[in-house]
Amino acid sequence: MPAHIRTSFAILAVTPLLLGCQYNPYAHLFTTTQPKQEHVAGSYSLTQQTIAPGGLSLLQGQRCVLELRGDGTFSIMNYPTWSEAFSPTNGQLVASISATGRWSCDTVGVVSDGRKSQRYWGVQFSDADTQLDPLTLTGKTPPYGLIMTYGDPDSGTVMIFEKK
């Protein structure tokens, strides 16, 4: 096969990878060094959501608060759950739940800047009344924040929690 045809095939083969591989707009915030559990413990409030138009006003004044206690237990009040149509234009609030259980810090994923990949840290929940997905820690130093990404990470569809 002539070299110019091989080059054309190579470009065509790589193009979908380049177009389909975007970047989570919040990935630069993820905690990539192991935090001390005592620095993660504390009270966190939901401060932003991009799942549905209207921001926190959709919660009609209900505050969502997550308590991560130093003894490894947690409680969360008014945690919003959303429809499976995760996009900024059609996500819908389904319910607000409250739960208790245990928590721990652990790696919850891998992020890459194109040169190297790093594990990032988050909060895992167990023994809860209700199944809760891990939350990703944000920040390089305490106080840390927490973020929940919904659907395709590239879409920037999130709930953001800040430590009080």
pLDDT tens for 49-100 read: 988 888 888 888 889 999 999 999 999 999 998 886 545 456 788 889 999 9
Q: Is residue 45 predicted with pLDDT exceeding 80?
A: yes
Task: Indicate the pLDDT class of residue 15, thresholds 50, 70 and 90.
Answer: very low
Mean pLDDT value across the chain: 84
Kindly state the average pLDDT of the residues 30-57. Answer: 93
pLDDT score, position 22: 57
Task: Indicate the pLDDT class of residue 152, thresholds 50, 70 and 90.
Answer: confident
pLDDT score, position 59: 82
Q: Where are the domains of the chain?
A: 23-163
Q: Which residue has the higher pLDDT, 161 or 54?
A: 161
| Tens-digit pLDDT profile for residues 110-128 | 998 788 999 999 999 999 9
pTM over 0.85: no
Q: Which residue in 152, 133, 136 sits closest to 24, CA to CA?
A: 152
Alpha helices by DSSP H, the chain: 3-20, 37-40
pLDDT score, position 129: 82
pLDDT score, position 7: 39
Those residues whose C-beta lies under 8 Å from the C-beta of residue 44, and which sit 6 or more positions away, are 65, 66, 67, 68, 145, 146, 161, 162, 163, 164
